[in-house]
Amino acid sequence: MDTPPTVALDPVLAADTYGKSRVRLMKLARRDGRHDLKEMTLDILFKGDFASCYEAGDNRNVLPTDTIKNTVYVLARKHEIAAIEEFAQRLIEHFLKNNPQVSEVRVQMTEHLWSRIDATAFSRASGKRTAVVTGTRDQVTIDAGIDDLLILRSAGSGFEGYIKDRYTTLPETNDRIFQTALLATWRYKSRSLDFNGQWEAIRAAILDTFATHPSRSVQHTLHAIGKQVLAAFPDVTEIQLTMPNKHALLVDLSRFGLDNPNEIFLPTDEPSGYIEAKLVRR
């Protein structure tokens, strides 16, 4: 058998990025009469002039990822962290200023929310605050959001009038438990805002719309939430929402001689419906 000819390969490095992931940070601000607590996880990624590292093993343009991690802790010690969006911008400014080989820095942050019990005690709250801030020397984009916000309605939700084929077993209902773990991400058009105030107000708008909207489906309420956020917050240019339908199945108690007027349920999250949409301003 003939040996196939050897083909000389000269591949091109089409894209590359590197950085540090899952940097854990907790900052305790010790103030007179109270402590303020923030806990977050950061992913920091660089784009830039790093081809020589990949192609020739030349590390002269490489800032060690351990240094990236250390920078997070040093800047956290030197500066207040009022809002994660502001801290992300501070990190971006530092890395771009001190590393000319870096053309873009992306900081993805998740804030693990703690609610205050008293001046020096806290409990973990539902949901996580998120931010993805991407910066170059020309522009910065800021996406904020909420992840894993567990919410439930026990009235005002139904699902009727859908397609039924020979495999459909789901009964129609105008009274069901509506439960989801909401993920929302929105983009700001400005990099100088009251980010904490905006986030709290948007979260409140999401919760209020979820609680009061006459829901004909998860899709219907998702759209209502996005529409309300865009209407109420002019600094938001777009919003993406994911709302998995966490089912609560009515338990059949007839074998025990009992009725079940929508009171006893089996909660289950697998499998779940997956509903997602993005709304943008016209």
| Active-site amino acid positions | 20, 65, 247
Rounded Cα gap, residues 96 and 134, in angstroms: 11
How many Cα atoms occupy the beta-carbon half-sphere of 165 within 13 Å? 1
CA distances from 86 to 19, 79, 80, 143, 234 (A): 20, 11, 10, 12, 20
* Segment holding 104, helix H or strand E: strand 102-118
Residue with structure tokens 């986030």? 199
Are 183 and 230 in contact, with CB atoms under 8 Å apart?
no
Number of helices (H) and strands (E) in the chain: give both, helices first.
5, 10
Q: Residue 257 is which amino acid?
A: G
In sequence order, the β-bridge partners of residue 217 are none
Contact 132, 85 (CB under 8 A): no
Give, as one character, the DSSP assignment of residue 112: E
Kindly give, in sequence order, each residue whose CB lies less than 8 Å from that of residue 271, ignoring residues fewer than 6 positions away. none
